[in-house]
A and B are shown apart, each in its own frame.
Chain A
């Protein structure tokens, strides 16, 4: 059975997750002795089609429609192409836009949806590996039936490489009138400091509990000559401005040293800091996922450890 991957692009560029989804899609297609089809909807489809022609791709369908993402167009194009090629699986990135149409697509096709896969296995049926309870556990989930929509987590599959010999065709698809219209984009989080430039970051998370306690990590940042950054809840609470947020929807940082204080290490946070040279975590919970990517860890209460650390550098 064939597999359909739908690529993702934004403001003129294909996003990396598109190539990762191709790798995951190829894996599934191999297991089911099928072809791998890739769809690209909107934007400069001809240029995108060329770029998406990587090793392992059998066919590329370019659907010309508008410049940017429109969930109705993506859904209609994916549903129609999935029917045309009798796709056993549609594979999409588990991105913000993926989540904006994958569930509707699965509903539309009447097939089972599994989101945020970190691993897949196919043996008579699909088994998906997912995380639960804030990444504290992994689960394997058996999926009944043999057609499904799957979204794959970014960074879990290597991007497809090489140059393929896919057939490329312009696909005519009936696209519906949209009840949701993109009217523009806005960059957020400019401002005084660019945390992406810092060599050393002291990053604070919800473990800090109260706004008043921020002083403690500020002292640490001062003592270390570091810049202060944060996980999302700190910014959501309005305790620090948006330009201090590290993560998927914040900034991607790659300092020499990243000190995560009271941060659990949710996947969307890790997406923004895993490229740091040396990662230090201070957390009371020995099972916090942040320890999985840390180089040095202290399992302890930040309210005990941080003042001692400040003293060391005073």
Chain B
């Protein structure tokens, strides 16, 4: 069975950041593999290690810079990677449908039996790509999966979906399926030095729109960010100033007033 893992390089804002136009200044952003995708990669690699999966392919949509992040997935055990990018994607805020267009084209080429991805991307927090993709390609799906047991012979993924308030839903999902993965599903490994060395030799196939039989029209987004700003704090928090000793002293007074530690 072939497993496709969708991964995304996400941006995180530094403690101090400036907003330029409708985004955070490039110099104030740091890039990393999306936390939720890390768990998806681990799940896929574990399926390969246990003999359930024959091949794990990581796929991402991102500019050349994101190869660094994709290499992380390769270093952790994905067999090869596909990176989709096109100048037409530069600077736009892609909507879910246009991302699904791209992933659908990759799915058509790869024909996976199972697709894993994170439940959300930490930067945009949309939480939608996996389930929308499932609908498009006619796969079953489950979102917010925190326990996974694939029965390849039966063609079923037994999953737990983590609902609100400490309740898990137990669900049987027919394969082929797209599962969006919650943190806590497993313990993502660190990439070993050997893994990192091996990753250098693994293939990252770069594809643009025409490679995938798409045009710029296909990925035109219905969404435009029109403003970005720091949310006005409605809080009247008292920020306790001073060095560690002073601020701890003042906080201790406050806490004692509240009857703490008495």
Contact = CB atoms under 8 A, between A and B. Distances in A.
Interface of A: 10, 68-69, 71, 75, 94-97, 99-104, 106-108, 112-116, 127, 130-145, 179-189, 200, 223-226, 232-233, 235-238, 242, 248-252, 256-257, 278, 280-281, 284-287, 291-301, 304-306, 308-309, 311-313
26 contacts: A10-B163, A96-B143, A99-B127, A100-B143, A102-B128, A104-B131, A106-B96, A113-B132, A116-B126, A134-B122, A137-B19, A138-B230, A141-B223, A144-B223, A179-B173, A181-B172, A186-B160, A186-B167, A232-B184, A249-B166, A256-B260, A286-B15, A296-B237, A296-B240, A308-B245, A312-B249
B192 to A, nearest CB: 19
B115 to A, nearest CB: 14
A309 B248 contact: yes
Contact of A137 (B24, B235, B240): B24
Contact of B15 (A144, A226, A256, A287): A287
A99 B161 CA distance: 11
Given A137-B19, A141-B225, A142-B223, A100 B142 contact: yes
Given A100-B161, A136-B13, A189 B248 contact: no
B222 interface: yes
Contacts of B248: 298, 305-306, 308-309, 311-312
B251 interface: yes
Contacts of A112: 95-97, 222-223
B237 A96 contact: no
Residue of A139, A186, A251, A299 most packed against chain B (CB within 10 A): A139
Q: How large is the interface on B (under 10, 10 to 19, 20 to 34, 35 or more residues)?
A: 35 or more
A100 B159 CA distance: 13
B228 interface: yes
A141 B93 contact: yes
A312 B247 CA distance: 11
Given A137-B229, A186-B168, A312-B248, A100 B144 contact: yes
Contacts, number: 267
Residue of A233, A236, A248, A306 most packed against chain B (CB within 10 A): A236
B91 interface: no
A304 B251 CA distance: 14
B136 interface: yes
A156 to B, nearest CB: 12
B15 A284 contact: yes
A133 B124 CA distance: 6
A140 B184 contact: no
A296 B251 contact: yes
Nearest to A94: B127
B64 interface: no
A225 B259 CA distance: 11
B234 A292 contact: yes
B128 A287 contact: no
Contacts of A182: 169-171
B258 interface: yes
Contact of A305 (B136, B238, B244): B244
Contact of A99 (B16, B143, B225, B261): B143
A292 B184 contact: no
Nearest to B160: A186
Contacts of B164: 95-96, 248-249
Contacts of A292: 231, 233-235, 237
A107 B143 CA distance: 16
B170 A294 contact: no
B152 interface: no
